[in-house]
Structure 1
Amino acid sequence: MSDFCIMRTAKLKSLGNIAGSLAHAFRERQTLNADQNRQHRNINLGGKTANEVMLKIKSMLPEKRRKDAVLAIEYLFTASPEIMNKMTLKEQREYFKDCLKWLKTNYGEDNLVFAGIHEDETTPHCYAYVLPLDNGKLNAKKWLGGRKKLSDMQSHFHQNVGAKFGMNRGLKGSKAKHQTVKKYYDQVNHISQVPAPEKPTNKQLLAAATGFNTEWLDQLLSTAKSVPSLQNQIKLASELRRTLALQQVKLDTRESEIGNIEMMKGKLIAGLKQLERDRHQVNQKLSESDSKHAKDIHEYQKRVQALEAALNDFESRKMDFIP
């Protein structure tokens, strides 16, 4: 009987990789193995849209980084279908909660950007995105660098999470390669499906190849009625996808420029606040100086009045000596 705890990772090395993964997570692109009638049961933690999470990730990434740096790591947590399907909903939630707690302990709570639970696929699973930041720098090798670290990570996860729920660890020291998140998605969602799936339609095949939803495809196909074959339709869809990719690059550039402008705006606001503080200090000093000068003038006037009184008294007495 299969009763293994399952943890998979995927290195995301570009903003495009992250955007594509988030689009899948938020069901903003067509997912053939997901049941639309159960999508309302999915849970998002840390963001409401892919764009919101994307902006959050961009704001946290260091400006200076290697071209081949791993920008984010996607984690997937689940268990063998046999044991997952026997767990109650409460038990599943507790298991996923402990998975995320384990992730926060290993990466730091601040580096856990977003997490969610998919209930609309055959086997429920939790997924999360972490930034491999180590003292402000991207350093994925600290966690995923080499076969031994991956094996130790699996053991640590089993000891601290899986074993608590009566799950076993995969065979330690096995020569089997670590299975990626993508390969897991391709396999686990079909393990417990007894009936054979229906043959997909041409539109579904085209949607899977291009990543477009059916509404986009309807528009595309309506403009391609004169195209004699499905092969030409796929070619047109691929050309459109390349055009959209170029537009995405332009949008990423524009977002970067906006970020720089916002940064400059912040510095200007900080400078203006400092000038205001300096102006207040100068006004305060001028006020203190004016008060001091007013006091000196008052003392001077008193002395002048005293001298004038003495002079008048002297003149009065002098008149007494004049015959």
Structure 2
Amino acid sequence: MLQVAQFAIIRMQKFQVSDVQGIQKHNQRQGTSKSNPDIDYSKTEQNYDLLNDQNLKYESEIKEKISGQVKRKPRANSVVLSEFMVTASPEYMNALSAEEQKIYFEKSLEFIQERYGQKNTIYAVIHHDEATPHMHVGVIPITKDNRLSAKDIFNKQELRELQEEFPKHLQEHDFKIVRGEKGSEKKHLSSQEYKEKQDLEKEIQLLDKEIDGKKKEFIDLSEALPQEKLEIKVQKEIKTDVKQKLFGDAEVIKKETGNYVLAPKQLKELTGYVNAALAVTKDYERLQSTDLVKENKALEASNDSLHSLLMNSRDNYTKLSEENQTLISSNKDLKARVADLTLEIKATYQSVKEFVNEHTKTVRDFKSVFKDFADKIRGKTSEVREKGQLEPRTSEFEKIHQKEVRREQDNELSR
């Protein structure tokens, strides 16, 4: 049978502002979820928030907190919310009374607020309408020196200490709970991944119960069979023929037919034995071809495989996110470089224009010389782009020159 330890469970996920509305709808059950079949909406009224009596507008609350505490404006892709999912092993959590569950969640919230700031904690929603009671706690990741930085707060060391200290805090309040396997290669699961893993574990437990049922059924049938060599006392069937004679008494001839005669009670008893034997034989043959134990092991292997796949996907997502951050940073550097080059080209254009103006006598001479210069720049630019096999396009110098020419033409028309 699958044994589940009494584990304290705490997981943290980071969210950007674009994720916040979806988190709010899930936590406050705003609308019906099609992606989460575990929600029993008949029990939704049992849900409550330890910090708020009314529904909260997450995005407005987060922006207000950040603007009031953080001086630097956050980037569009900044992590603005770190959400904790708090629960325990299903068997342990469901064995607690409603009052004990509430205390469990209150002490868990107390631990989170002490660690990450009471003023930064905006909600603590408890869900009783899913398979296992759990709590979602929202924390805005603001550092002690008033910076918005989930990366600095939730580093590897902090995440390790979180898993160590959380069960200790609960143990201090008389909860017989332990942390997960120390040194395990398992990584943190998201809420959705955790639910999928729970579903697989439930399926394994159902298979275990089915195996136990079949074992009992097999034992019952076996006990119905005689434990010693079966001996049934039967009589042989005798056929009697009467042969008449012309003289004297008729001759009675008795002959065995080869059949046996059973009393009704004997027939019923024997029929029961045969039926039980047939049932055991058929069940044995079925188990030979469909081994539930093997199915159980295959499902456990599938569970591990799925968990590994989920973790690989999570690693790939993290890697892609890091690469994306690098690209964003590089893009910003390139934009800054382009802006600098544009300013330099504008300054060069004005310097060349002033130089030509100083060395020409008339306006006509100036325009002629500067036009020739601009044409040479255009030709050189096209030549360089062609050699580099680049797509033809208007250079920045040419754009400035065309803009300047149009401006001068507009001035002449307005005179």
In percent, how many aligned pairs have the same letter?
29
Indicate which of 150, 171, 176 corresponds to 1:166: 176
**Superposed CA offset, 1:56-107 (max 9, x none):** 1121124612344211101110000011111111111110000000011011
Q: 2:9·2:87 contact (CA, 8 Å) conserved in 1?
A: yes
Give the paired residue count: 193
Q: Tell me, yes or no, if structure 1 residue 129 matches structure 2 residue 138.
A: yes
Task: Supply the distance in 1 between the matched residues of 2:27 and 2:98 (Cα, whole angstroms).
Answer: 20
Structure 2 counterpart of 1:79, from 55, 76, 88 = 88
2:149 corresponds to 1:139:
yes
What is the rounded CA distance, in whole Å, between the counterparts of 2:184 and 2:19 in structure 1?
30
Residue 10 (structure 2) pairs with residue 4 (structure 1): no
User: Relative CO higher for 1 or 2, CA cutoff 8 Å, sep ≥ 6?
Assistant: 1
Give, as a single letter, the amino acid of the residue that structure 2 aligns with 1:170: G
Matches within 5 A, 1:55-66: 55-62=60-67, 64-66=73-75
Equivalent-residue separation in structure 2 for 1:190 and 1:28 (angstroms): 28
The residue that corresponds to 2:338 in the other structure is none
TM-score computed with the length of structure 1 as normaliser: 0.55
Q: Gaps spanning 5+ residues in structure 1: where?
A: 197-323
- Write the letter of the residue equivalent to 2:63: K
Residue 112 of structure 1 and its aligned partner are, at CA, apart by 0.5
Larger Rg: 2
Match in the other structure for 1:18: 20
Distance 1:115 1:65 in 2: 24
Instruction: Spell out the pairing of 1:263-278 with structure 2 (5 A cutoff).
Output: none
Q: 1:176 aligns with which of 182, 186, 195?
A: 186
Matched residues in 2 for 1:67 and 1:111: separation? 20
Q: d(CA) in 1 for partners of 2:171 and 2:84?
A: 15
Counterpart secondary structure, 1:12? strand
SS in 1 for 2:79: coil
Q: Contact 1:115/1:127 (CA < 8 Å) preserved in 2?
A: yes
TM-score norm. by structure 2 comes to 0.44
| Separation in 2, partners of 1:56, 1:47 | 15
What amino acid maps onto 1:93 in structure 2?
K
Q: Deviations over 1:210-235 (max 9, x none)?
A: xxxxxxxxxxxxxxxxxxxxxxxxxx
Aligned with 1:170: secondary structure? coil
**Does the CA contact (< 8 Å) of 1:151 and 1:172 recur in 2?**
no
- RMSD of the TM alignment (CA)? 2.2
CA contact (8 A) 2:21 2:58 kept: no
User: Which residue identity is paired with 1:116?
Assistant: V
Q: 8 Å contact 1:81–1:192 — kept in the other structure? A: no
Partner SS for 2:183: coil
Amino acid at match of 1:137: R
User: After the TM superposition, which residues 155-304 of structure 1 pair with which residues of structure 2 at under 5 Å, given as runs?
Assistant: 155-162=164-171, 164-188=174-198, 191-192=201-202
Question: 5+ residue gaps in structure 2?
Answer: 208-415
Deviations 1:137-166 (A, max 9, x none): 1121233212x3211111011111256411
